[in-house]
Amino acid sequence: MAEAADSQAPPGPGVRYGTSGSTGGESTATAGGPAGAPAPPGRRRVRLPAPAARRRWRRRAATVLLAALPVLAGSALPAGAAAQPSRASGAAPHAAPAAGQSLAHQARQASAQQQASAQQAATHPQLRTAGTGSRSVEVSLNQVTPSVPTDGDTLTLSGTLTNTSRTAVGRARLDVRSGPKLDSRSAIEQAGARKGYLSGADGTAVARKYSREIGGIAPGVTRPFSIKVPVSALHLDADGVHQIAVSLTGRARGRGYDQVLGIGRTFVPRQQGSPGQKTKFTYLWPLMSTPHLTARTEPDDQQTPVFQDESLIDELKPGGRLQEMVELGKDLPVTWVLDPDLIATADMMSRRYRVAREDGGTTAGKGQEYARQWLDELEKAVQGKEVVALPFADPDLASLAHRGKDVPGALSSLGSATALGRKAIEVALHTKPSTDFAWPYEGAVDPSIVDVATSAGARNIIARSDSIRDSRLPYTPTSARPIGGGTTALVADARLSKEFEGDMTRAGTASLAVQEFVSQSLSLARQMPTRQRSVVVAPQRRPTTSQAQAMAAGIRAVHGSNWAEAQRLSDAADARPDPGADRRVPGAAHYPAALRRTELPKAAFEQVRDTKDTLDDFKVILSRADRVVPPFGNAIDREISNTWRGDVKGAVTFRDAVQKDLLDLKRKVRLIKKSDITLSGREATIPVTVQNNLFQRVDGLELELSSSRIGLDVGDAQQVKVDGGHSQSIKFDTTAKNNGRAIVYAQLYTADHKPYGEVMKFRVNVTSITSTVLIVIAVGVLLMVLAGVRMYTQRKRRGPPPDPDALLEPGPDDGDGSADDGKSGGAGPRDEDGPHDEDGTGKPGPASQGQQPQQDEKSDEKQGGKKDENRGEKEDTAEQEKQEQRQEPEKEKGPDEDRRASSDAATDGGSAAGRAGTDTGRQTDSPLGTGEKVER
């Protein structure tokens, strides 16, 4: 294999040769062991002939070996040995390879050797770090100046030497090798990818005076070098691309001969005069980043944005990636391709902003000065240049076409994203961008991607030549291709576009990329020098700082050449298409499988749809929807960005965060949890409270109750309007037809009757009261009222209670106190021993007043026993009969009889009084004779 061949020494004296028995004839000679050694397995021992024949065998074997070793062994021969035959025969430095083999054939063999070495390194990991043969020392060409030399220039080759083997390298020599001219773009690509030394393909060393002696290099040690060679010494006679190499020739420890220990290659383009029509190149200069903003904003009047972190500062500050791209791009003939989301984010960072913390809080941001400075520099850089604005957040058109098309509404936001992108650029940079271009990921297209791109309003689609191929043409055609429907595909050159995708942090890699980029452009221009073509270069979307620096160096070198000129992207779209170019868009089956595996899954678009629906339901109830819709709408656009290619975890985390923030905001309008309640009676009121913790009023909601039991009617839905930071209690009049338990469900609805929030349920226990119970309660209450009225009336009739301090015996001046008793016609008490009615008026005399109660008491004491009691009962009965007799005639009297009765009563009163006076003169024990007895 390659490593074994590299370590093989040239044949010396005393070496015997054997042959393989695989072909049946005279075969290729192989190195054998000493005489008498056993033959290796699979080989047959060959008995050598006599000395004369042996010499013939040696000459033949040497001839075959010299012809085959440059191909099979590479560095097996000493550095100068490979060139000896050609020099001896007077061949030019660019003589054809030995044995009539072409350079392409040697390149294929070298590629096979490299694959075998890679497989061997995979099997034996220890070989990955230890170089052997022509890879013992890594030769890195870090700088080639000038990139495009002319006659009379001196080419400076600077770099480093690193011993990657496990053994020290003794004294060695650095040689500059001038290789063959590379007449095709594929030859340049193959030469740039080749590793290790390949005799013939890597040319011959130039004059020895330009070599440099290098001392010993220990394992792992790196030493710098720099060699200056006049261009005239390189023998670059013909225009085109030439391979130049620097090789290290020396002797490794334990080896008795010199060999090539390492080689580094580069390319030098040469074009003395104009190749004819200059080729027009359009260089895209993309400014994009990952999402940095969250969907959250502060509740202040300025609606302060909240950033995920401060990582954008690292890109915007001096030396950062984005700052370096602006600094490099301002002096380049490029078309700026901007993601409006990045520009809007930097604009927000230039003012007051907050940064989210892990605990859910926020802290003040500190990147205002960096953002303002970057925006100012960018605004100056784009003045007078063409600016292309992609749809906001750079949506992944391929993922939308392949995975999102089956999700309703997935494509609905593309048009608004395009309009938003244009506005963001105009506001922040004060320039009018073009929005007629769509840029699918990696320039890979198929019919569905084209349909999605045009639905966003784009008329030009930036594709790539490894997607839309031109295998029928021997040259690179103009990028513009009409593909139907008024749409133009701008097919960027794949080799030029992908040139700076490697690890450009290593100076040797970056230098080789720059020289290969320039050489590819010259080779492209020399394909059809009589026809002017327009070629687009579309690099990766987010180049690193080192990649951007290498890109800038390559663009400057090409722009300063005499075979190329720059043009705008819009001019490239309007260029005359090549009639032989393929205009067919490849089918879906030709879409690269590797790119398809990195697309957003269908589940991602379903989650995006759910978030959109939640936002649509939420915004209809807000009085200030403009404070919620823009930040969350922009965050939803970021969820389908090209930035998530290859970052599955980051994409999921971002989508979940946006959805959570929106749901948390929506839950601030909710129903307060209600405990179980009991309803007494057929009709009652159920209050339900709606809480609004937002900083704005909500309107357009309806609160509806529903019961799990038919017998409970909870009323109709009611409108809800709640100011920010307040709660409102909504009351529902309910009617119960029977007793029992029921579950009541409370649900908020939007105006179009979509459920809002979660259902709140509570239990209701209905205890209805019958009419009989109500009647009993009413009668009881009525009786209590009547009893109170009766008690009040009786108390009023009795009058005030007697004074307990009043005197029981009347004084000497109290005799007139009984005059009122005489007016009553004998109804009052009378004194038995008092004077009789002397004047016939029925009035007692003065002497009789005030003494009757005392005499009655004395009479009662004298008259006791059963006789007195019987007499009293008889008198009571007689008096009662008299009263009844007087009442019966009165009921039958008319009005006239009433008047006569009144006059008769007056007449009877006088006689009665006389009789009474006569009666009181007699002593009697009858209780009717005294008022004292009656009251008692």
Domain boundary among 771, 788, 806: 771
> Does residue 274 contact residue 250 with C-beta atoms inside 8 Å?
no
Q: Is 141 helix (H, G, I), strand (E, B) or coil?
A: strand
Q: Note whether 145 and 265 are same-domain residues.
A: yes
The DSSP secondary structure of 431-450, one letter per residue, reads S--B--EE--GGG---HHHH
> What stretches in the chain show pLDDT beneath 50?
1-51, 64, 66-107, 109-129, 811-870, 872, 889-936
For residue 560, being part of any structural domain is answered with: yes
Q: Note whether 578 and 686 are same-domain residues.
A: no
Tokens encoding 822: 């005489």
> Does residue 453 contact residue 461 with C-beta atoms inside 8 Å?
yes
Q: What are the Cα distances from residue 888, in Å, to 884, 891, 894?
A: 6, 6, 13
Q: Note whether 581 and 464 are same-domain residues.
A: yes
Q: Note whether 481 and 560 are same-domain residues.
A: yes
d(CA 5, CA 9): 9
For residue 241, being part of any structural domain is answered with: yes
Query: In the chain, what is the greatest distance between 2 CA atoms, to the nearest angstrom?
Result: 210
d(CA 374, CA 342): 12
Strands 698-707 and 740-749, sheet pairing = antiparallel
Burial status of residue 144 (CB atoms within 10 A of its CB: 0-12, 13-18, 19 or more): buried
> Does residue 248 contact residue 234 with C-beta atoms inside 8 Å?
no
For residue 128, being part of any structural domain is answered with: yes
The 8-class DSSP code of residue 211 comes to -
Q: Note whether 546 and 431 are same-domain residues.
A: yes
Our count of domains for the chain comes to 3
Q: Note whether 423 and 538 are same-domain residues.
A: yes
> Does residue 525 contact residue 565 with C-beta atoms inside 8 Å?
no
Secondary structure element (H or E) that encloses residue 680, with its range: strand 677-680
What pLDDT was estimated at residue 768?
A: 60
Task: Please report the sign of the dihedral spanned by the C-alpha atoms of residue 835, residue 841, residue 846, residue 849.
Answer: positive
Q: Note whether 399 and 504 are same-domain residues.
A: yes
Output b/e per residue, 567-599; b: 16+ Cβ within 10 A. bbbeebbebebbeebbeebbeeeebeeebeebb
d(CA 936, CA 928): 12
Q: Note whether 674 and 764 are same-domain residues.
A: yes
Q: Note whether 101 and 235 are same-domain residues.
A: yes
Contacts of 850 (CB under 8 A, 6+ apart): 810, 814, 815, 817, 818, 831
Task: Please report the sign of the dihedral spanned by the C-alpha atoms of residue 106, residue 107, residue 113, residue 117.
Answer: positive
d(CA 490, CA 578): 12
For residue 663, being part of any structural domain is answered with: no
For residue 482, being part of any structural domain is answered with: yes
Task: Provide the residue type at 520 as one letter.
Answer: Q
d(CA 224, CA 238): 32
Q: Note whether 589 and 678 are same-domain residues.
A: no
Domain that holds residue 188: 78-270
Q: Note whether 493 and 563 are same-domain residues.
A: yes
The DSSP secondary structure of 180-196, one letter per residue, reads EEE-SHHHHHHHHH--S
Secondary structure element (H or E) that encloses residue 707, with its range: strand 698-707
d(CA 477, CA 578): 6
Side-chain half-sphere exposure of 419, counting CA atoms within 13 A: 6
What pLDDT was estimated at residue 659?
A: 97
d(CA 431, CA 436): 16
709 backbone dihedrals φ, ψ, rounded to 5°? -120, 135
What pLDDT was estimated at residue 829?
A: 38
What pLDDT was estimated at residue 569?
A: 98
Tokens encoding 746: 């409370």
Domain boundary among 603, 625, 641: 603
Q: Note whether 575 and 688 are same-domain residues.
A: no
User: Torsion angle, CA of 314/315/316/321, rounded to 10 degrees?
Assistant: 130
The 8-class DSSP code of residue 38 comes to P
Side-chain half-sphere exposure of 616, counting CA atoms within 13 A: 9
- Overall pTM > 0.75: no
For residue 202, being part of any structural domain is answered with: yes
* CATH code: domain of residue 715: 2.60.40.10
Tokens encoding 193: 């990818």
Tokens encoding 366: 């500190």
d(CA 677, CA 672): 14
pLDDT tens across 534-575, in order?
999 999 999 999 999 999 999 999 999 999 999 999 999 999
Question: How many CB atoms sit inside 10 A of residue 188's CB?
Answer: 22
The 8-class DSSP code of residue 804 comes to T
For residue 795, being part of any structural domain is answered with: no
C-alpha gyration radius of the chain: 60
Task: Provide the residue type at 774 as one letter.
Answer: L
CA 272 to chain centre: 56
Contacts of 148 (CB under 8 A, 6+ apart): 268, 269, 270, 271, 518, 557, 560, 561
> Does residue 577 contact residue 481 with C-beta atoms inside 8 Å?
yes
Tokens encoding 344: 């809007």
Which residues does residue 387 pair with via DSSP β-bridges, in sequence order?
336
> Does residue 243 contact residue 187 with C-beta atoms inside 8 Å?
no
* CATH code: domain of residue 571: 3.20.20
pLDDT tens across 880-931, in order?
555 555 555 444 444 444 444 444 444 444 443 334 333 433 344 443 343 3
What pLDDT was estimated at residue 279?
A: 96
For residue 828, being part of any structural domain is answered with: no
Domain boundary among 270, 292, 319: 270
Burial status of residue 465 (CB atoms within 10 A of its CB: 0-12, 13-18, 19 or more): buried
